[in-house]
Amino acid sequence: MPITALLKQCSRLRKAGQADQAMPLLRDALRRGGFNGEQVGRAGRFLNRELEQDPGAQRVLILGQCTTTWLGQALTAHAFGRGMDLAVRDGEYDNVMQELMASASDDRPVDAVVFVPWNQRLLGEADRQPEQRIEDELAFWRQAWSIAKDQLKARIIQVGYDCDAFGALGVNLAGAHDGQVGLARQANQTLREQLPGGAYYVDLDQAAGRMGRDRFYDPRRYHWTKQPFSEEGTSLLGGHLAAAVRAVTTGPKKVLVLDLDNTLWGGVVGETGPLDITLGESPDGEAFRAFQQHVKQLAQRGVVLAVCSKNNPEDAREPFEKNPDMALSLNDFAAFEANWDPKPAAIERIAKTLKLGLDSFVFFDDNPAEREHVRQTLAEVEVVEVPDDPSGYVRALESGLWFEATQVTGADRQRSKQYATERKRRDAEQTFGSIEDYLGSLEMLGDVREVDEADMQRVVQLLGKTNQFNLTTRRHTAEQVREMLRDPGAIGLTLRMSDKFGDHGLVSLVLAVPDVQEKGTLRVDTWLMSCRVISRTAEAFMFDALLTRARERGYTRIIGEYIPTQKNKLVAGLYESMGFDRLTTHDDGRAEYALDTGSAEPPKTYIQLAGAVHG
C-alpha cells in the first residue's frame, strides 16, 4: 500500500475507535522505510497520541535551544519502526532548565533526556571572546546534565553543535579559531570530553554533512518557527536519536547474519569454485572485499557474526579455506548455517544456538525475496535494504545505525572471539553421552570478586543490556551502583569464568542491600548473567558466593524478587530452584521469595573456585 494511503487509513481507523488495528500496519511500513520527511512527521503525530498513555512505553524528554516539536515526532516514528515504543514529550522553545525542573517534580519517570543545542549564542554574540562563549555554553549543559542524571535518574543524549552558514569571514576563515565552523568544532570537542559516563553524543556535524547542509537545514523554517531543520533533516536526525535511545537503554544490536553468494563475494561459489568468485582484482571485487573488511571491523568491536546461506556446506566453506583474497575467516563466525532450509528457520536456529533473542539480530542478504521472507516471518529481526551495487553495501549497513553504542569495552572486543570459541564447545558437547560428563570435561573455573571501579564499565554495560537472565531488569547507572554499594551492609559481586577452551570474561553480577524494614535481612536488588554461560551451573556458583558473603555479614535471611518481562521467562523459577520459598505473588506476575541462610544449600555446580572472594 502507498505510504500516503496507509497514513489516511490509520487516520480513519483512529476516528472509528480502531487505532490498535493501525499500529501493526504502521510499524511494518516504517520498518520497510521509504517515508519522506513529511510522512515521518505524520506517522509520529499519530503514534504520539497512541503511545503517550501506554504504561509500557519508554519516556523520553526532548529539550532544546530551538523548537523541537517536529523532532520529537520523527524520533517517535523512527523508534517505532525499530521496535521501540517511546512516549516522547518536548519542551517549550529554549526553556531547557525550566522544563528540567518541572520534570524533576513530576511523578512520571523519564528514561532518557535529549538535549538539542542551537548556535544563536555560541556564534551570534560577537562581543564576547570565543573561549568565553564556549565555556558559558558548556556550563549551561553541565548544569542540565546534573539535573537529568541526579534528579530525573535519566539517561543523557546530547546533540552536538553545527552551523548552517560560513559567516562573514567566508569559507576560508570559517574554520579558523574564531570562525563559525571553528567555534562549533571546539564546542563539540569540549562537549564530548565532558559528557557524563554512559551518555550518547549525536554528531550533528556528521549527520548534516552526510545529507548536505543545504538539504538538512531550512533558514525560512527557523525564522518562522525557530526550528532550524528541514523536513528531511528532521527525519534524518530523528533516526539518529532513535539509535541513541536504543544505545543508552537496551544497547546496540548484537548479531549480524550474512548471506554468502553475491553478498560477501560476487558469483555463486557452487558454480564458479572458491578461486573464481568475484573478490579483489576488479571494481566489484574490491567492493566485496571492502565490505568484508568493514564486517571484520564490526566483529573486532564486538558484533557477533553468523552465516545464513542456501548452499552446500562444503562449497560455502571453501572460499574461507582456499581463497587468499578473503578478509574474513571461518573463525570470525559464531554460527554457520549453510543448507537449503528456509532462511527464517535457519536464523531461528542461530538464535537458539547463540542463546540470543531475535530482536538483537540484523540480516544482510542481496536477494530481495529472501529479505521479504525474513521480514514477514521474523518481525523482530532488522532487515537491511541491500542495494544492487556492492559498492553501496557498507553505506547501507552503516545508515541503519544498528550497532551504535555509548562505548566499546575490552569485553566487547573479546565477544566475537568468545562466541567463535563457543562453537568449539558445542562441537565437543556432541562427543559426550550426558550433560554432566560434558560439563565436567570443560574444566570450568570461577573467580568471584567484589564490584570495584576497574569493572564499573562492564558492570553498567551488563545492567543496560542483559535481558534473558535478569531477575529484575533494573537499569542502574554507574553512580547509582556506587551509591548502593556505599552502604556498609551492601554486597556487590561479579563472576569471571573460564574453561579449557578460553576465557568468558565477566559474566555475572549480584547487587544486594540491607532490607530497610527487617533487620538481618538482605534484599537482592539485581541478579543477572550473560547468556554465554547459561546452562553451565554458573547461577549455582554465584549464589553460593552470595550466600557465603551474606553469612559472613551476619544476615539470617535473603529476600529475592522476580519482575517478569517479555524476555526473562528463563529465570521465572530460579529462586525456587535455589531453595527459596515464595512469599507473595502480584497480579502483574511480580513475586518475592525468602531463604533462611542457616539451612540453605546451593544446587550442585561444575565450576571450580579459581580464587578466593576478593574484598
612 pLDDT more than 60: no
CA dihedral 250, 252, 254, 260 (to 10 degrees): 150
Q: What is the topology classification, in CATH, of domain 3-249?
A: Rossmann fold (3.40.50)
Q: Are strands 112-116 and 58-64 parallel, antiparallel or unpaired?
A: parallel
Q: Cα–Cα distance between 263 and 114 in angstroms, integer?
A: 37
Look at residues 461, 470, 412, 40 and name the one whose alpha carbon lies nearest to residue 242. 40
Look at residues 307, 308, 322, 329 and name the one whose alpha carbon lies nearest to residue 274. 322
Taking every pair of C-alpha atoms in the chain, what is the biggest distance, in angstroms? 80
Confidence of residue 227 (pLDDT cuts 50, 70, 90): very high
> What is the residue whose three cell numbers read 526473562?
568
455 pLDDT more than 50: yes
Q: Cα–Cα distance between 533 and 56 in angstroms, integer?
A: 29
pLDDT in tens, 104-137: 888 788 999 999 999 888 887 767 888 888 899 9
Report domain extents, the chain: 3-249, 255-399, 434-614
Give the chain's mean pLDDT: 90
CB distance 564 to 550 below 8 Å: no
Contacts of 579 (CB under 8 A, 6+ apart): 595, 600, 601, 602
424 pLDDT more than 70: no
3-state secondary structure of 585: strand
Percentage of the residues of the chain whose pLDDT score is greater than 90: 65
- φ, ψ dihedrals at 514, nearest 5°: -60, 140
Look at residues 252, 284, 470 and name the one whose alpha carbon lies nearest to residue 391. 284
* pLDDT higher at 131 or 64: 64
> What is the residue whose three cell numbers read 543496560?
464
Average pLDDT over residues 424-434: 68
Confidence of residue 516 (pLDDT cuts 50, 70, 90): confident
> What is the residue whose three cell numbers read 541491500?
386
Q: What was the pLDDT predicted at 230?
A: 96
Average pLDDT over residues 147-174: 88
pLDDT in tens, 272-307: 899 999 998 899 999 999 999 999 999 999 899 999
Q: What is the topology classification, in CATH, of domain 255-399?
A: Rossmann fold (3.40.50)
Percentage of the residues of the chain whose pLDDT score is greater than 70: 97
Q: Cα–Cα distance between 301 and 308 in angstroms, integer?
A: 21
Q: What was the pLDDT predicted at 197?
A: 86
CB distance 390 to 284 below 8 Å: yes
Q: What angle do CA 246, 249, 252 make, to 5 degrees?
A: 45
Grid cell, residue 509, equals 553480577
Q: What was the pLDDT predicted at 7?
A: 92
> What is the SS3 assignment for 41-71?
HHHHHHHHHHHCCCCCCEEEEEEECCCCHHH
Beta bridge partners of 346: none
Whether domain 434-614 has CATH 3.40.630.30? yes
Q: Cα–Cα distance between 90 and 69 in angstroms, integer?
A: 6
pLDDT in tens, 366-375: 999 999 999 9
CA dihedral 538, 540, 543, 548 (to 10 degrees): -110
CB distance 485 to 537 below 8 Å: no
Query: What is the number of other CB atoms lying within 10 angstroms of the CB of residue 439?
Result: 20
3-state secondary structure of 263: coil
CA distances (Å), origin 267, targets 282, 338, 390, 579: 13, 16, 12, 58
pLDDT in tens, 33-53: 899 999 999 999 999 999 988
Q: Cα–Cα distance between 181 and 168 in angstroms, integer?
A: 12
CATH fold match for the domains 255-399 and 434-614? no
- Least confident segment among 306-315, 420-429, 565-574: 420-429
Q: What was the pLDDT predicted at 615?
A: 45
Q: What was the pLDDT predicted at 430?
A: 66
Confidence of residue 613 (pLDDT cuts 50, 70, 90): very low
Confidence of residue 189 (pLDDT cuts 50, 70, 90): very high
